[in-house]
Structure 1
Amino acid sequence: MVAVGMLLSDVPSTVPPAQQFDGVRRIVEAAQRVGMTYIAIGQHFLYGDLRWLQPVPLLARLAADCDRGTRLATQIMIAPLYHPVMLAEELATLDVVTEGRLVFGAGIGYRPEEFEYLGIPFKERAARTDEILELLVKLWTQDEVTHSGRFWQLDGVRPHLKPVQSPHPPIWVGAQSVAGARRAGRFGDAFPVTPEATYDEIEERFAAVREGFAARGKPFGPQPVRRNVQVAGSRDEALVEYARVSKGKYLSYASKGMTHAGDAETLDRDFLASVAQHAVVGSDAEVVAQLTDLCTRFPVDPLLLRPQWPSMSTEDTIAAIERLGREVVPAIRALPTPQPEPVPAGAA
């Protein structure tokens, strides 16, 4: 069975935070009701007209509402903005509170201003992330840690807090680039494919991850893949609705420096052509066919869907989730779980 999950969205900052939290709880309840077993949330700081609830305290609270089989994922946390000891203990606590259901998704970030706010050089973000990922595993798995790195030094410290999961929570190292896929191969357990990635890009990035895993003697297994989806009565209806609910967010991404789906001018001029290669839109049957092709062409598990955009109300989001629950979610869950590939002969 291929697991299906959902990505929670940011919302306009005009929505009161308490109302946002109430909406999240209702959305998560609906997602679980239709068979989604991963709940994932991203992260930003001082985000202006949009707001994220911070993932660690939010997921800790949601754990009480979620089924025991539902996993809770940070997708992604901006790792280089943290001191590794603080991050290790926050996440270990979250794994304890969620009773071993945490998935830690990490990324290097893409907004220079977030680094400026926190006094961390933007140009150091990749190197800091590499060192943090290395040190997190030490702090989670070793009784005594000595580390002498470029940014942090620890001398014989004794971690007092370990995660519930052994040896540690799964580490998903996310990125848009091939360089980020190589980082996942060196330090991670999986590479969560971004929603904008084409099939050719997925193939290229999986090859980089596979090479890194082989160098560690680690089998290449199923990988999390994200996709933006819109189901309607027909493809034309779905395209119109997708443009209505998501175009503003794409333009917001572009204005904040994430231009993988196109620059702001191109998106504004011809939105549907810009997103045609990655957005999954159409009737129930068309969306099932597209996602089934994705999940049979690549070793996908879980498949993370985005049914929510900042322009949508809680009620709109729940309706979109319920629509996915009619045919799309059951069809994907009926697919066989992909099996890990054997480690190549001679690998470390």
Structure 2
Amino acid sequence: MVAVGMLLSDVPSSVSPAQQFDDVRRIVEAAQRNGMTYIAIGQHFLYGELRWLQPVPLLARLAADCDRSTRLATQIMIAPLYHPVMLAEELATLDVVTEGRLVFGAGIGYRPEEFDYLGIPFKERAARTDEILELLVKLWTQDEVTHHGRFWQLEGVRPHLKPVQSPHPPIWVGAQSVAGARRAGRLGDAFPVTPEATYDEIEERFAAVREGFAARGKPFGPQPVRRNVLVADSRDEAIVEYARVAKGKYLSYAEKGMGKAGSASDLDADFVRTVGEHAVLGTDAEVIASLTELCTRFPVDPLLLRPQWPSMSAAETIAAIERLGKEVVPAIRALPTPQPEILPAPTGA
């Protein structure tokens, strides 16, 4: 069975934080009721006209509402904005509070202003992320840690807090680039594919992850893949509705420097053509066929869908989730779980 999950969205800051939290709880309940067993949330700081509830406290609270079979994922946290000791203990606590259901998704970030706000050089984000990921594993798995790195120094410290999951929560290292996929291969447990990635780009990035895993003696298994999805009674209707709910967010991405979302001029001139290579739009049957092709061609598990955009009310989001739950989610869950690749036997075995 291929697991299906959902990505929660940011919302306009005109919505009160209390209302946003109430809406999130209703949306998560609808997602679980409709067969989604992963709940994922992203992260930004001082985001202006849009707001994220911060993932660590939010997921800690949602754990009380979620089924024991539902996993809670940070997708993604901006790792280089943290001190690794603080991040290790925050996440270990979150894994305890969620009773071992945490998935830690990390990325390097793409907004220079967020680094400026926190006094961290933007140009150091990749190197900081590498060191943080290395140090997190030490702090989660070793009884005594000595670390002499470029950014942090620890001498004989004894971690007092470790995660429930052994050896630690899954680490998904997210990125848009091949360099990011190589980071996942070196330091992570999985590479969550971005919604905008084409099939050729998925092939290229999975090859980089596979190479890194092989160098560590780690089998290449099923990978999380994200897709933006909208189901309607016809493809034309789905396209019109997707433009209505999603175009504003794509333009916001372009303005904030996320190049993979498309340029603002292209999005304005021809939104459907610009997003057509990655957005999965159409009838139930068309969406099922597209997602089945994706999950058959690549070792996908879980498949994370985005049914929510900032322009949508909670009621609209819940309606979109229920539409997905009728046919799309059951069809994907009926697909066989991909199996990890078998590593060649060591030389001389």
TM category, shorter: over 0.9
Mapping of 1:1-348 within 5 angstroms?
1-346=1-346
Instruction: Give the ranges of 4+ consecutive aligned residues of structure 1 lying more than 6 Å apart after TM superposition.
Output: none
Letter in 2 for 1:205: R
Structure 2 distance, partners of 1:49, 1:346, is: 55
Identity of aligned residues (%): 89
Secondary structure of 2:143's counterpart equals: coil
- CA drift of 1:262 comes to 1.2
In 2, Cα distance between the equivalents of 1:282 and 1:330?
17
Deviation at 1:170, TM superposition (A): 0.1
Match of 1:227, SS state, is strand
**C-alpha displacement at 1:298, in angstroms?**
0.2
Kindly provide the amino acid, as one letter, of the partner of residue 191 in structure 2.
Answer: F
Question: Whole-Å Cα distance in 2 between the matches of residues 262 and 324 of structure 1?
Answer: 26
SS at match of 1:301: strand
**In 1, distance between residues paired with 2:220 and 2:210?**
6
Unaligned runs of 5+ in 1: none
Q: With structure 2 as the length reference, what TM-score do the two structures score? A: 0.99
Distance 1:176 1:158 in 2: 36
Report the Cα offset of residue 281 of structure 1: 0.2
Q: Deviations over 1:142-172 (max 9, x none)?
A: 0000000000000000000000000000000
CA-to-aligned-CA distance 1:189-230 (integer Å, 9 cap, x gap)? 000000000000000000000000000000000000000000
Post-superposition offset of 1:345: 4.3
Distance 1:261 1:32 in 2: 29
Deviations 1:285-332 (A, max 9, x none): 000000000000000000000000000000000000000000000000
Q: CA deviation at 1:272?
A: 0.4
In structure 2, give the amino acid aligned to 1:338: P
Using the alignment, how far apart are the partners of 1:311 and 1:156 within structure 2?
Answer: 50
Unaligned runs of 5+ in 2: none
When the two structures are aligned, how many residues end up with a matched partner?
347
- Asked if structure 2 preserves the Cα contact closer than 8 Å seen for 1:173 and 1:191, the reply is yes
User: Per-residue CA shift, 1:4-51, capped at 9, x if unaligned?
Assistant: 000000000000000000000000000000000000000000000000
Once residues 199 and 327 of structure 2 are traced to their aligned partners in structure 1, the CA distance between those partners, rounded to angstroms, is 24
CA distance in 1, matches of 2:107, 2:150: 19
RMSD: 0.7
Q: Is the CA contact (8 Å cut-off) linking 1:3 and 1:36 kept in structure 2?
A: yes
Shift of residue 344 of structure 1?
A: 3.5
What is the CA-CA distance between 1:346 and the residue it aligns to? Answer: 4.5
Find the aligned partners of 2:305 and 2:202 in 1 and give their Cα distance.
16
Q: Secondary structure at the match of 2:261?
A: coil
How far off is 1:252 after superposition? Answer: 0.1
> Aligned partner of 1:104: which letter?
F
What is the alpha-carbon distance in structure 2 between the residues aligned to residue 345 and residue 267 of structure 1? 50
Aligned to 1:128, what secondary structure does the other structure show?
Answer: helix
> How far did 1:261 drift?
2.5
Amino acid at match of 1:224: P
Segment drifting more, 261-270 vs 309-318: 261-270
**How far apart, in 2, do the equivalents of 1:196 and 1:345 lie?**
36
Question: Is the 8 Å Cα contact of residues 214 and 344 (structure 1) preserved in structure 2?
Answer: no
Q: Residues of 1 paired with 2:273 and 2:16: CA distance?
A: 35
Mapped to 2, the partners of 1:113 and 1:265 lie a distance apart of 23
2:8 maps to a residue whose letter is: L
